[in-house]
Structure 1
C-alpha cells in the first residue's frame, strides 16, 4: 500500500507540473495568443480533473486506513471483554446501547448523543482528526465523534479551527466583542494629564438555533447485522446537519439564524474594472496585507473560497512568475496560497460583480456555539405502512464574529 501511495503522490506532482507547463507556454506567447486555445483549455480542464481525482483517491485511502484501525481497536476491545450472559443487559457499553436503541430493543424513543468525559475536556476542533499524525490514531471513535466529524467535513468554516463553545443548555449567552483597538500612545509633558485610550467593546449574543434532519431506513437494513449501522447513521446525520448549519455559518443573516462569516467580515480588497468580478494576484496580495500582522501570524489564519474560485486561482502567478497556489505535500492537509492554508466551502459566493468571493483572516475570531447534546429520536409508527423506521436528529447552534476590527476580511468583485 505504501508503494501505491508513493506512486499516487508522484503522479499528483507530475500532473501539477504538466499544468504549470501548459500555463507557462500560453503566457509566453504575445498579445491575444496568450489565452488558452480551445484544445489547451480542454487539456487544462482534464489536468485539473486529474488533480481532483487524485486528491479524492488519497482521501479515500486515508479514510479506509482510519476505518481499519478503528475496526481493529474495536475487535481488540471485544475480544478482551468477558462474554455477557444477558444479551439485553448493555451496562455501560455505549455502542451496544446505541445499536440497541437503533433496533428498538431498549423501548426508548430518545437517545441524547453526548461526548464522553474525555471528549468534554477537549476542544471540539480536535474532532476533525484530519491526519493520523495529528492524533487520529490515538482517539477512540464514538458515535458522537463520527457524527461531528462528518459535520465538519462538509462545512468549510468548521474545518478552519474556529473557536468552538459547547454549552450544556441552550439559553442565549453574551460574548464580548472588540469593535476598536486602543489608539497609539501620545507624548505627555511632565505632570501632564494622560488622555483616555481605551479599546471599544460590544457584545455578541449567541443563541441556539435548531437544525433537524429526518431519515428512514427499512427493517431489513436495520436487522442486517453485517451493516455498520452506527457508521451509516452518523454519516447521514452528520452531513445533513453540517450542510444546513454550515451554510448559515457562511452566509447567515444574523436574524433568526447564525451571523455568517461572510456577513460579519469587513472589506479588504476590491477588484479592478474590466475583470467581471474575478480576482488577480495583486488583489489577493492586497487582501493578505489588509489583515494586520497579529491576525496573519495566527495558526488559524487561512483562506476560504468555493471550488470554482480555486479553479481560477490555480492559474494565477505573482510578479516573480511563481504560482501563488501550492499543492499540499501530504494527504489530509490543505493546499496553500501565499503560505496560508486554503479551505473550500460551497456556500461562499462565486466570483461575480460585487460578490464577496474570497475570505482571508484569523478564523479563531469566529465563535461557533453548539449545545452539548445532539438528540436522536426513533419512531416505528411514522411510516408504519411502508415498514420503515424513522429517525430524526436535532442539533442546536449559532455562530458570529467576535472581533470586528478586521480579523477576517473579504475580496469583493468590482461593482461594474
Structure 2
C-alpha cells in the first residue's frame, strides 16, 4: 500500500513578525557569506604561497559553505511560507458552487452535488477509477505552489492541455529565402521540413490522510489543507522526473537525452562543453570553462538563461574567482531572489549529477525554450474512508508530462578532459 501522510494543518495567521524573521534570516545569510569569502580568500592565498592549502583552512571553508547552504534553504522556506495565503474560516466574499460541493464531498462524502455539477458540465476529465475534479481555485493554488518549490517548473515553459498527449510540430529546416531584384523572376523555394514532438502526460499521485475531527472542524480551509498535503509529494516527484525521468510512466528528463560535443552538435542532442580535466576544473581555469559554456549558447538564448546544478556543485563553483579577484558566485540581492553566477541566475536542482569524471554536472540555457512541462487540466480526488480506518484517505492525482522542445536552447558543462 502506498505511503500515506498525516499532519494537522497550520492554523496560525500570518503577521508582520514573519517579515521580520525573513529579514533576520537574510542578514544571517549575508554574514555567513562574508565569513565564507574571508575563509576562502585565506585558502587561495595559502595555495598561491605554498601550492597547497592548510587542512584546517580547507575544513573551515567546507564547514562555512555547508552553513551557508543551510541558511539559504532556511531563507527559501521562510519566503515560501510568507507567499502562502492566510488560513481563513470561510470568510471569502464569493465561494463557487463547485467549491461548496467539493467541500461537502471531502468533509462528509456527499457526492450528489458534485455528480450533478459534472453531469451538467459533461465533464470527461474524471478517470475510470472514480473521483472528482477539485475546484478551479484549488487546482490553481496547487499549481502556484508547485511553481514556487519545484526548481525546474519555476524556469521551464508550462502548458495546460485537456488531452492526454500534446503534439507539437517543429521545423527541421526553415523555408528557403533569398534576395531578388524588384523586377527579377522569383525562383521556386523548397518547403520547410516539419517533424513532430510528442509529450504524453503521466499520472502523479499523493495520498494524504485526515482524521474525522479535522474534517469536522469548520475553521479548516479544505483547499489550503489539500494544497499543503500534496505540494511536497508532487514537487519531489516532479523535480526528479524533469531532470532524470526515463519517460516510462513519468516525464522524460532533460538529462536523459543524447549529448554531443558542441563542435559536432546536431538536432536531437544537447551540446556539451568540456572543462579540460576529468572530474573537476583545470587548476586556475574554472572561469574559462564557465565562459566557454556561456558563449556556446546563442545570444538569443543567453538573455533569459540560468545555471542549473545541485548544491554540491554550487559549493565548488562558489569558490571560483575571476582574473580581478572577484567571486563569480554572488548571493541574492534580496530575500526571495536567486543567487547569480557570472550575472546569470542559479537554480538548485538536487537531482543534477555531482562533479565527477565525464559528468554533465552543470546545465546552462533558456529553460523556457529548452524544456516543456505539460499539465493535463484537472486535479482529481477520490475519498476513501475504508482502507485505513479510522483515517480518511484522499487519493489525489494529476497528469503531467515533459520533455525537451528546443535542443539548441541549453548546453551542459561536462567535467572531462
TM-score (norm 1): 0.77
Distance change (3 Å), C-alpha of 1:351 and 1:259: same
Whether 2:144 is the aligned partner of 1:155: answer: no
Shift of 1:271: 2.4
Shift of 1:179: 4.2
Shift of 1:294: 0.5
Given that 1:150 and 1:239 are in contact with CA atoms closer than 8 Å, whether structure 2 keeps it comes out as no
C-alpha distance in structure 2 between counterparts of 1:305 and 1:215, whole Å? 31
Q: Residues 362-377 of structure 1: matches in 2 within 5 Å? A: 362-365=366-369, 366-377=371-382
Given that 1:178 and 1:402 are in contact with CA atoms closer than 8 Å, whether structure 2 keeps it comes out as no
Shift of 1:96: 4.3
SS in 2 for 1:368: strand
Given that 1:178 and 1:403 are in contact with CA atoms closer than 8 Å, whether structure 2 keeps it comes out as no
- The aligned residue for residue 14 of structure 1 is 31
Whether 2:396 is the aligned partner of 1:402: answer: no
C-alpha distance in structure 2 between counterparts of 1:358 and 1:352, whole Å? 11
Q: Residues 40-189 of structure 1: matches in 2 within 5 Å? A: 40-67=57-84, 70-71=86-87, 74=88, 78=91, 92=96, 95-107=99-111, 110-115=131-136, 142-160=137-155, 162-170=156-164, 172-179=165-172
TM-score (norm 2): 0.76
Gaps of 5+ in 1: 82-90, 116-141
Shift of 1:259: 2.5
Distance change (3 Å), C-alpha of 1:234 and 1:319: same
SS in 2 for 1:50: helix
Please tell me the root mean square deviation across aligned C-alpha atoms, in Å. Answer: 3.3
SS in 2 for 1:156: coil
Distance change (3 Å), C-alpha of 1:413 and 1:193: farther
Q: Which moved more, 1:243-252 or 1:370-379?
A: 243-252
1:207 to 190, 200, 219: 200
Q: Residues 196-275 of structure 1: matches in 2 within 5 Å? A: 201-225=194-218, 229-264=222-257, 266-275=270-279
Distance change (3 Å), C-alpha of 1:274 and 1:346: closer
Distance change (3 Å), C-alpha of 1:375 and 1:355: same
Per-residue CA deviations over 1:302-332 (Å, capped at 9, x if unaligned) read 1111111111111111232211111111111
Aligned residues: 368
C-alpha distance in structure 2 between counterparts of 1:272 and 1:402, whole Å? 29
Distance change (3 Å), C-alpha of 1:392 and 1:399: same
Distance change (3 Å), C-alpha of 1:376 and 1:163: same
Distance change (3 Å), C-alpha of 1:251 and 1:199: farther
Per-residue CA deviations over 1:17-40 (Å, capped at 9, x if unaligned) read 221121112212356845443322
C-alpha distance in structure 2 between counterparts of 1:220 and 1:232, whole Å? 14
C-alpha distance in structure 1 between counterparts of 2:188 and 2:327, whole Å? 49
Q: Which moved more, 1:179-188 or 1:306-315?
A: 179-188
C-alpha distance in structure 2 between counterparts of 1:274 and 1:230, whole Å? 50
Per-residue CA deviations over 1:91-148 (Å, capped at 9, x if unaligned) read 7355544443222242467231253xxxxxxxxxxxxxxxxxxxxxxxxxx4223322
SS in 1 for 2:375: strand
C-alpha distance in structure 1 between counterparts of 2:324 and 2:50, whole Å? 21
C-alpha distance in structure 2 between counterparts of 1:21 and 1:330, whole Å? 21
- The aligned residue for residue 388 of structure 1 is 391
Q: Which moved more, 1:336-345 or 1:42-51?
A: 42-51
C-alpha distance in structure 1 between counterparts of 2:177 and 2:354, whole Å? 39
SS in 1 for 2:386: strand
Distance change (3 Å), C-alpha of 1:102 and 1:338: same
SS in 2 for 1:349: coil
Given that 2:166 and 2:374 are in contact with CA atoms closer than 8 Å, whether structure 1 keeps it comes out as no
Shift of 1:359: 0.8
C-alpha distance in structure 1 between counterparts of 2:379 and 2:80, whole Å? 24
C-alpha distance in structure 2 between counterparts of 1:303 and 1:79, whole Å? 41
Distance change (3 Å), C-alpha of 1:114 and 1:348: farther
Whether 2:315 is the aligned partner of 1:311: answer: yes
Per-residue CA deviations over 1:149-195 (Å, capped at 9, x if unaligned) read 343344221011x221111232x23212344568996999x969869
- The aligned residue for residue 289 of structure 1 is 295
2:56 to 3, 26, 39: 39
Distance change (3 Å), C-alpha of 1:186 and 1:254: farther
Shift of 1:269: 0.7
